[in-house]
A and B are shown apart, each in its own frame.
Chain A
Amino acid sequence: MAAKILHGIPVSAGISIGRAYLLSQGHYCLAPMQSISQDLVEVETARLNQAFAQALESLQQIRKQIPREQSDHAAILDTHIMVLKDPKLRQATEHYIRDMHLNAEWALEKGVADIESSFQGIEDEYFRARVQELRLLTRRVMNQLLGNNDSIKSITSRVILIAHDLSPADTVELDVSKIMAFATAQGGRTSHVAILARTLEIPAVVGVEDLESSVSDNQFIVVDGFRGQIVIDPDETELTQYTDLKYSFEAYQKEVIRKRDLPAETRDGHRVQLHANIELFEEVSKVLDYSGDGVGLYRTEYSYLYRVELPTEQELIEEYRDLASILHPRRLVIRTLDAGGDKLGHGFEHLEEANPVLGLRAVRFCLRHQDIFKTQLRAILRASQAGNISLMFPMISGLGELREVLSVLDQTKEELAAEGLAFDAEIPVGIMIELPSAVMIADILARYVDFFSIGTNDLIQYSLGIDRTNKYVSHLYQPLHPALLRSIKRVVDAGHKAGIEVSMCGEMASDPYCLPILIGMHVDSLSLNPQSIPWIKRILRKLTMEECADLLTRILRLDSVSESNKLVRETIFKRFPDELQFHSSILEEEEE
């Protein structure tokens, strides 16, 4: 038996076996606290200044490496550089060495704490939040003082990187050829590490409980990116099992990739579009690598979230235009901002919302902040000249809201026309169906739009009234709940009756167990993470429309989730025993 098995969220498939490398992130709690004698004051002051200089130098190096297209990262780093140069910060820390006779580490800790407390009284949340970044940033100085020059850069052999979390600034320095896998204590499916790992195609598990206290440097571990486990000190038997799994997965992967260019159709010739969900510009290359038919969901929040100021119209035009031209003639579906003010961190009014998930977000937020909304719409429209862009609105709850959104869109089109600016007047407009209310009136909504995209992640949570990240109720997250299956079928049928296309862009679309049911319902296109496209294509090409329709008929007759799960599991597992050992499923594992 292994010494210990830790559990987290699997975010990138694969098995990695190797030595752990713990990235020390300059934790303040490690700082030695000592009083010093008068004759050491100059020595400690010099140590502090040198630590600042080295931290500054390393940031400036990182800054140089940032490619031009990542101007938002560059802006964040510029600010960080100015903070490290800040005379106030130096004075605040030096004062503790000179006047209080504390050692450099303790002085830094006290100086930073003083500046933090000077920010406490600020009412505006945006400004108050900035000071939290100060502690993260001055960790670099602390690292220098503690002699942890173990920046990511100093990794020389291939390792499994263990960290609390990694920011874009951290990973800029990463020599990815040295990293076999990631495990982090923080994060979720869409955190920076998760996306990076999927892009690099290396295993990753995030949100691992007790990670930092359980794994020590250089320890022998296994990262299981299928089941989301970190196995510490595996025994012989476990090691053999994991090694076998690793090799068979790699062989399977090669086979899948070899056949990625074959058409996405069933054995009896039913063609399904396989699109990609992406949220970073860089991911677009993966869409082409994995032979996706286009992008079915471009999440646009990233340009707003990880920066200190709102993106300008020009910036967004360039981003959307570049994406569209890389993908051309493939389709690019751009979803408008799907977040609330809390995520934007631009000094937006701080709302006391008891339930932000049911609050001012997505189109509701956009309708309240029409300047932000219009800037984005103008950018999407102006980029749409290429002719392959579609526009999609998230979280539509009813016809009134849809009409309001469409009226802002029409207004924006008129303004552009009046300014003599070109755009695609025929740009297809769709909505995400992710609220039960939209499901119930899908037939009405279908008359106003060109396509539907079913967002199952939220639809499941809103329909069943659960938060899937809440461990007390996450077992209720059941994609095959009869209510969900009926909802999806209702939306597909309503869309097709109105002559519009229906796609699906939730995780269900990339679940091999759900695939035959969706095909049986005649969903026109599936949008999934780019890496999953060749896998799903492989399974799709082994199915027939007839067996999918038959499974759908049988499953729609069942009364309960456990019956549907059992039926699907048995039927599909029998058909694809080899493939399914490498796929995690969102279906609840039955208790043995």
Chain B
Amino acid sequence: MNTTMTDSISKQVYIRNELGLHARPAAQIAQEAAKFSARIKLKVGTMEADAKSVLDILSLAAGRGKSITLQAEGQDAEKAIGHLERFFLDGFGES
């Protein structure tokens, strides 16, 4: 396999917590995303944000029930997506 070629992996998730991607989850996503070398994006409709930037995530102003596409490119892309997906699934640890 040619290591310079990286596949882009994407996954669709929903925002389950009541307040949407407010400051705390945005900061947590950025913190989690920073653990991976992959380039990770969050896409909502036509907007996209760098998952490692809390300000970028906040500027999506994504509320509850919005569908988000997680997209990653790079060596640990698959791991990164799996990790973030779980994070979304449990509503960022908020009930």
Query: Which residue numbers of A lie inside 8 Å of B, CB to CB?
Result: 75, 78-79, 81-83, 85-89, 115, 118-119, 122-124, 126-127, 130-131, 134, 308-310, 312-313, 346-347, 371
Determine if B55 and A309 form an interchain contact, defined as CB atoms under 8 angstroms apart. Answer: no
The contact sample of 12 A-B pairs, CB cut-off 8 A, is A79-B26, A82-B26, A85-B30, A86-B53, A87-B52, A88-B50, A127-B58, A130-B58, A309-B19, A309-B24, A310-B19, A347-B63
Judged by a CB distance under 8 angstroms, whether B18 is at the interface is: yes
If the complex has contacts A78-B24, A82-B31, A86-B30, are A347 and B19 also in contact, measured as CB distance less than 8 A? yes
- Give A84's nearest chain B residue, CB to CB: B54
Shortest Cβ gap from B65 to chain A (Å):
12
Shortest Cβ gap from A548 to chain B (Å):
51
Determine if A134 and B61 form an interchain contact, defined as CB atoms under 8 angstroms apart. Answer: no
Determine if A82 and B61 form an interchain contact, defined as CB atoms under 8 angstroms apart. Answer: no
Residue in contact with A126 in the complex, picked from B22, B30, B31, B56, CB distance below 8 Å: B22
Which residues in window 23-81 of B have CB below 8 A to A? 23-24, 26-27, 30-31, 34, 50, 52-56, 58-59, 61, 63
Determine if A124 and B63 form an interchain contact, defined as CB atoms under 8 angstroms apart. Answer: yes
If the complex has contacts A82-B31, A86-B53, A87-B53, are A75 and B24 also in contact, measured as CB distance less than 8 A? yes
Shortest Cβ gap from B64 to chain A (Å):
9
Shortest Cβ gap from B22 to chain A (Å):
5
Interface residues on B, range: 20 to 34
- Give B64's nearest chain A residue, CB to CB: A347
Residue in contact with A83 in the complex, picked from B17, B22, B27, CB distance below 8 Å: B27
Shortest Cβ gap from B31 to chain A (Å):
6
If the complex has contacts A87-B50, A89-B55, A124-B61, are A308 and B94 also in contact, measured as CB distance less than 8 A? no
Q: How many contacting A-B pairs (Cβ < 8 A)?
A: 74
Residue in contact with A119 in the complex, picked from B22, B59, B95, CB distance below 8 Å: B59
Give the complex CA separation of A216 and B89 in angstroms.
54
- Give A78's nearest chain B residue, CB to CB: B27
Give the complex CA separation of A130 and B34 in angstroms.
22
Give the complex CA separation of A119 and B31 in angstroms.
21
Give the complex CA separation of A505 and B15 in angstroms.
42
If the complex has contacts A124-B63, A309-B19, A347-B20, are A115 and B94 also in contact, measured as CB distance less than 8 A? no
Determine if A88 and B55 form an interchain contact, defined as CB atoms under 8 angstroms apart. Answer: yes
- Give B21's nearest chain A residue, CB to CB: A127
Report which residue of A81, A134, A308 has the largest number of chain B beta carbons within 10 angstroms of its beta carbon.
A308
If the complex has contacts A122-B61, A127-B61, are A82 and B22 also in contact, measured as CB distance less than 8 A? no
Residue in contact with B24 in the complex, picked from A88, A118, A308, CB distance below 8 Å: A308
Give the complex CA separation of A85 and B53 in angstroms.
8
Known: A86-B54, A126-B19, A346-B22. 6 other contacts (CB 8 A): A86-B53, A86-B55, A130-B58, A308-B19, A309-B24, A310-B18
Shortest Cβ gap from A42 to chain B (Å):
24
- Give B60's nearest chain A residue, CB to CB: A127
Residue in contact with B95 in the complex, picked from A85, A115, A308, A312, CB distance below 8 Å: A312
Q: Which residues of B contact A122 (CB under 8 A)?
A: 59, 61
Give the complex CA separation of A188 and B75 in angstroms.
54
- Give B23's nearest chain A residue, CB to CB: A308
Shortest Cβ gap from A78 to chain B (Å):
6
Residue in contact with A309 in the complex, picked from B22, B59, B61, B63, CB distance below 8 Å: B22
Shortest Cβ gap from A266 to chain B (Å):
51
Determine if A123 and B54 form an interchain contact, defined as CB atoms under 8 angstroms apart. Answer: no
Q: Which residues of B contact A126 (CB under 8 A)?
A: 19, 22
Determine if B55 and A115 form an interchain contact, defined as CB atoms under 8 angstroms apart. Answer: yes
Q: Which residues of B contact A87 (CB under 8 A)?
A: 50, 52-53
Q: Which residues of B contact A88 (CB under 8 A)?
A: 50, 53, 55-56
Q: Which residues of A contact B94 (CB under 8 A)?
A: 309, 312
- Give B30's nearest chain A residue, CB to CB: A82
Determine if A118 and B59 form an interchain contact, defined as CB atoms under 8 angstroms apart. Answer: yes
Q: Which residues of B contact A115 (CB under 8 A)?
A: 55
Q: Which residues of A contact B34 (CB under 8 A)?
A: 85
Q: Which residues of A contact B22 (CB under 8 A)?
A: 126-127, 308-309, 346-347
- Give A91's nearest chain B residue, CB to CB: B53
Determine if A79 and B23 form an interchain contact, defined as CB atoms under 8 angstroms apart. Answer: yes
Shortest Cβ gap from A164 to chain B (Å):
23
Q: Which residues of B contact A131 (CB under 8 A)?
A: 58
Determine if B54 and A127 form an interchain contact, defined as CB atoms under 8 angstroms apart. Answer: no
Shortest Cβ gap from B32 to chain A (Å):
11
Determine if A130 and B19 form an interchain contact, defined as CB atoms under 8 angstroms apart. Answer: no
Give the complex CA separation of A484 and B57 in angstroms.
52
Q: Which residues of B contact A89 (CB under 8 A)?
A: 53, 55
- The proximity string for B residues 1-18 relative to A, scoring 1 for CB distances below 8 Å and 0 otherwise, is 000000000000000011
- Give A119's nearest chain B residue, CB to CB: B59
Q: Which residues of A contact B30 (CB under 8 A)?
A: 82, 85-86
Q: Which residues of A contact B24 (CB under 8 A)?
A: 75, 78-79, 308-309
Q: Which residues of B contact A308 (CB under 8 A)?
A: 19, 22-24
Q: Which residues of A contact B23 (CB under 8 A)?
A: 79, 130, 308
Give the complex CA separation of A398 and B95 in angstroms.
34
Question: 9 closest A-B pairs (Cβ-Cβ)?
Answer: A82-B27, A127-B61, A88-B53, A79-B27, A308-B23, A82-B54, A122-B61, A124-B61, A79-B23
Residue in contact with A346 in the complex, picked from B19, B31, B61, CB distance below 8 Å: B19
Residue in contact with B55 in the complex, picked from A83, A123, A124, A310, CB distance below 8 Å: A83
Give the complex CA separation of A88 and B30 in angstroms.
11
